[in-house]
Chain A
Amino acid sequence: KNEVEQSPQNLTAQEGEFITINCSYSVGISALHWLQQHPGGGIVSLFMLSSGKKKHGRLIATINIQEKHSSLHITASHPRDSAVYICAAGVSKGSARQLTFGSGTQLTVLP
């Protein structure tokens, strides 16, 4: 059973388009992380959310705790935004605290 589900798996957009990537989770969480994985494999943390909404530049992340759902939005997309975007749920299992990762969304932004 997948505890963290992302959609879509693949997304192709034209430069300038507004992009939404979705993440649903089936377990209670303390935090939801959005990460960006570059073509070379490196991972960069974008956001950590436990409620509400955060914005950084053209990136916006929202979370709805009741619906167990988070979205990552990219406004005015650019080819340099092309990467894999991963959500990771901070799951509390007993005394354990660890991140459970989604499968990622491969975003390609065409010029």
Chain B
Amino acid sequence: EPEVTQTPSHQVTQMGQEVILRCVPISNHLYFYWYRQILGQKVEFLVSFYNNEISEKSEIFDDQFSVERPDGSNFTLKIRSTKLEDSAMYFCASSVDRGIKNIQYFGAGTRLSVL
């Protein structure tokens, strides 16, 4: 069964460093998403992406975040200068079609630890 793949599963970084989280969405999906879950808190929407541009973004997704689809398969989330409060589980998801009426398929997540 097709699945969304995220790498790495765990990333440890020093405060102020840049990190790139990687995702390979399901191959025929066109819409991609990043979510964040701080330990013990709700999952929060960060950004959605379609046709090589950001479709929606939340208040959390400020200038230190960026997303990119550098080739035909990968979808990346970059955090430019990590802060302690960026420590969280980051989930990538993809869906065939746009909108909130479409099932989103989630990756297993990348746990980011900022020291």
**Complex: chain A residue closest to B55, CB-CB:** A97
Contact A45 B106 (CB under 8 A): yes
Question: How far apart sit A90 and B108, CA to CA, in the bound complex (Å)?
Answer: 22
Task: Indicate if B104 sits at the interface (CB-CB under 8 A).
Answer: yes
Please pick, from A41, A50, A90, A101, the residue contacting B111 in the complex, using a CB distance under 8 A: A41
Task: Indicate if A14 sits at the interface (CB-CB under 8 A).
Answer: no
Min C-beta distance of A72 to chain B, whole Å? 15
- For the A-B complex, the count of residue pairs with Cβ-Cβ distances under 8 Å equals 64
Residue among A48, A50, A98 with the highest chain B CB neighbour number at 10 A? A98
Chain A residues positioned under 8 Å from B106 (CB to CB): 35, 42-45
Contact B43 A92 (CB under 8 A): no
* Chain B positions 11-67 with a Cβ under 8 Å from a chain A Cβ: 37, 41-45, 48, 56, 58
Question: How far apart sit A103 and B109, CA to CA, in the bound complex (Å)?
Answer: 18
Please pick, from B93, B100, B102, the residue contacting A91 in the complex, using a CB distance under 8 A: B100
Task: Indicate if B84 sits at the interface (CB-CB under 8 A).
Answer: no
The A interface, classified by DSSP as helix, strand, loop or mixed, is strand
Question: How far apart sit A43 and B101, CA to CA, in the bound complex (Å)?
Answer: 17
Q: A98-B58, A100-B45 are in contact. Are A48 and B89 (CB under 8 A)?
A: no
Chain A residues positioned under 8 Å from B91 (CB to CB): 43
Min C-beta distance of B39 to chain A, whole Å? 10
Chain B residues positioned under 8 Å from A99 (CB to CB): 45, 100, 104
